[in-house]
Amino acid sequence: MNNSEKGDFYFGISDNKIYICFFEKGKQKYSNIIEFEIPDNLMNNLNFKVIQNLLKENIRKLEKRLGFFLNDGNISIQSKSYQSILFSIKNVFDEKVLDKKIVINLVQSMIQQFDNNEKNLSITHIIINKYVIDDRVYSYLPNEIRFKKIVLEIEFICLDKELINKVKRLFNECKININKIVSYDYAKRFLISDRDDTMCISANKILNGENQSEVFLTEALPKKTSIFNKIFGLFD
């Protein structure tokens, strides 16, 4: 049985541990967890093989406990290589009604500029911190107001592509498909208390829309798919 029919798996990778958590459908608290220590440097090829074997062993333990196979999951990564990069983008129009398509196109323009100029980093989170509309500041997108000028202040949280590729290789070797990668340092901002502080809980909160200012991108869509369909979660 595919695990997506039962719930979601989350993995947490810290400097010295890996967590594997299973969340039943609709639950914000995991029902099962396994954690184990690992060598402290995933990028070291000698450590990589050890970590791979430990991961396989503990995945099998959890599968046996749950009674079904683990096929995919989301990963929370703690890493010093994350970077937070701030941008702003401005556009001026003839007076018109503001709608989400305008914002989506501006966000996509920033993503394309970033991708064209940055070859070593990959975006893991996109947050719209502020809307400035005709010189008035909003923390949210106002509904259908008439305007001429808009400025977006956007934060990209990025991770080194080499590390991402290493993590993907690690999980591919275990036949696990990665759905989303979450920055733990970003996600833990939204924990209510230290007692909730596992890498899996914070990642689950983020991917379920805890930060209403975050934009989510879908993956692996055809190139001709419109940007309107590629970006979602911004206006719920």
Whole domain around residue 97: which residue ranges?
A: 83-159+224-232
Sole residue written with tokens 């703690």: 78
Whether residue 74 is found in the same domain as residue 168? yes
pLDDT at 28 over 90: no
Q: In the prediction, which pLDDT does 236 show?
A: 43
pLDDT at 231 over 70: no
Whether residue 142 is found in the same domain as residue 201? no
Q: In the prediction, which pLDDT does 143 show?
A: 86
Least confident of 54-58, 83-87, 170-174, 216-220: 216-220
Listed in sequence order, the DSSP H helices in 67-158 are 100-117
Whether residue 120 is found in the same domain as residue 143? yes
Task: Find the CATH number of the domain harbouring 69.
Answer: 3.30.420.40
Q: Are 215 and 234 in contact (CB under 8 A)?
A: yes
CA 215 to chain centre: 10
Q: How far, in Å, CA of 94 to CA of 86, rounded?
A: 27
pLDDT at 220 over 60: no
Task: Find the CATH number of the domain harbouring 94.
Answer: 3.30.1490.110
Q: How far, in Å, CA of 6 to CA of 165, rounded?
A: 28
Q: Which residues, including other chains, have CB under 8 Å from residue 143's CB and lie 6 or more apart?
A: none
Q: In the prediction, which pLDDT does 45 show?
A: 78
Q: In the prediction, which pLDDT does 186 show?
A: 95
* More confident position, 43 or 80: 80
Whether residue 68 is found in the same domain as residue 166? yes
pLDDT at 181 over 60: yes
Tokens of 124: 């893991």
Mean pLDDT along residues 88-92: 94
